[in-house]
Structure 1
Amino acid sequence: MPVLDSVTLRARDAIKGIWREAAKFGAVGALAFVVDNGGYNLLVFGLPGGTEGGVMRTAPVQASVIATAAAALFSWAGNRYWTYRDQHREKVTRELVLFLVANGVGLAITAGTVFASRQLLGLDSALSDNTARILGWTLATLFRFYAYRRYVFVTP
């Protein structure tokens, strides 16, 4: 029975640890989501109540790339110094490069859903853009969580 108790305790601690990690990752991600989607909407649609649209109203895919890049930099700082503060690499440059590669894939996923919505489906409303971005952001977040745990924030 002591072996079973030991295995049970280790499993419980592992699950507790991953939930704590996921909660921190989620908090950083929620704030990054605000930076990403808030930035995108400002760039494409302008300030609420504005009639002219944003400075990138004719370039929604590029606006998605800029907003996602800003959110990625915010996310790196939040994850490096809070979520994975005990797990980051000594070589900041290597970690940042791995982080940017993982976020490049995430960026492509998010921009890809906007491209599909606009170019393949012919949709161009704020609702369709935001729906496409939320779908892309959800898929990209799942990928990032895996990539961060597996490749980016690990002690070599």
Structure 2
Amino acid sequence: MTPAPSQRQTLRERLTLLAREIAKFGAVGGVGLLVNLAVFNLVRHTTDLQVVRASILATVVAIACNYVGFRHFAYRDRDKSRRTKELTLFLLFSAVGLVIENGVLYTATYGFGWDGPLQSNVFKFLGIGVATLFRFWSYRTWVFRRLQPEPEPASVGDGRREPQPGRVI
């Protein structure tokens, strides 16, 4: 049994919206990836910080850049009425992503001894990839929530709208 044309169209519209969201998330994430890797390598090669500490610093800088990009580009059409809660959730889920990302690097560096410059970058990149999947899900589900459309008022048989409590017609 094939879905009705309206169901197919709705599915197509939802997939199109999801594809756009993924593209915008990817654009912001791509900039964040470049910032993350640039800061990581700069700190790693110009200071005596250990690999994972340099990575954590780079991740924090990228998180700050990403928030600006997500709020003002990728999710600019989302609810803006609860910024404090939004920022709190963003930082909470970003911290979980930071642990995931740097957990991969930590395991490679201290668990397997893979701490050369190329190896560090490969495992940093791999950790970012795994953390990105978590971040995409958590940001779209909990942080940058869609505005809920106002329900249409019920109509009375003669075409007039039925009054709703607390609402002036």
Q: What TM-score results when the alignment is normalised by the length of structure 1?
A: 0.89
Aligned-pair distance for 1:88? 3.2
1:103-118 pair list within 5 angstroms: 103-118=94-109
For 2:98, the aligned partner's letter is L
* Contact 2:101 2:128 survives alignment (8 Å): yes
1:29 aligns with 2:20: no
More helix as a share of residues? 1
Larger Rg: 2
Give the ranges of 4+ consecutive aligned residues of structure 1 lying more than 3 Å apart after TM superposition.
none
- Partner AA of 2:122 in structure 1: T
| Per-residue CA distance 1:5-30 (angstroms, 9 max, x = gap) | 10011000000000000000000000
Query: Is 1:64 aligned to 2:55, yes or no?
Result: yes
Pick from 100, 107, 110: which aligns with 2:91? 100
Aligned letter for 2:94? N
CA-CA distance at 1:60 after TM superposition: 1.4
Residue segments in structure 1 that go unaligned for 5+ positions in a row: 46-53
- The amino acid of 2:19's aligned partner reads W
Q: 1:129 to 1:142 in 2, by over 3 A?
A: same
Who is 2:11 aligned against? 11
Correspondence for 1:51: none
Task: Tell me the secondary structure at the aligned position of residue 140 of structure 2.
Answer: helix
Counterpart in the other structure of 2:117: 126
* Aligned match of 1:85: 76
Is 2:43–2:49's contact at 8 Å kept on the other side of the alignment? no
Identity of aligned residues (%): 36
Q: Distance in 1 between the 2:79 and 2:111 partners?
A: 40
> What is the aligned length?
145
**1:40 maps to what in 2?**
40
Deviations 1:68-122 (A, max 9, x none): 0110111111011111111134121110110001110110111111111111001
2:79 & 2:65 partners in 1: Cα distance? 16
Q: Provide the aligned C-alpha RMSD in A.
A: 1.3
TM-score (norm. length: structure 2): 0.82
2:161 match: none
Letter in 2 for 1:152: V
Matches within 5 A, 1:132-147: 132-147=123-138
SS in 1 for 2:78: coil
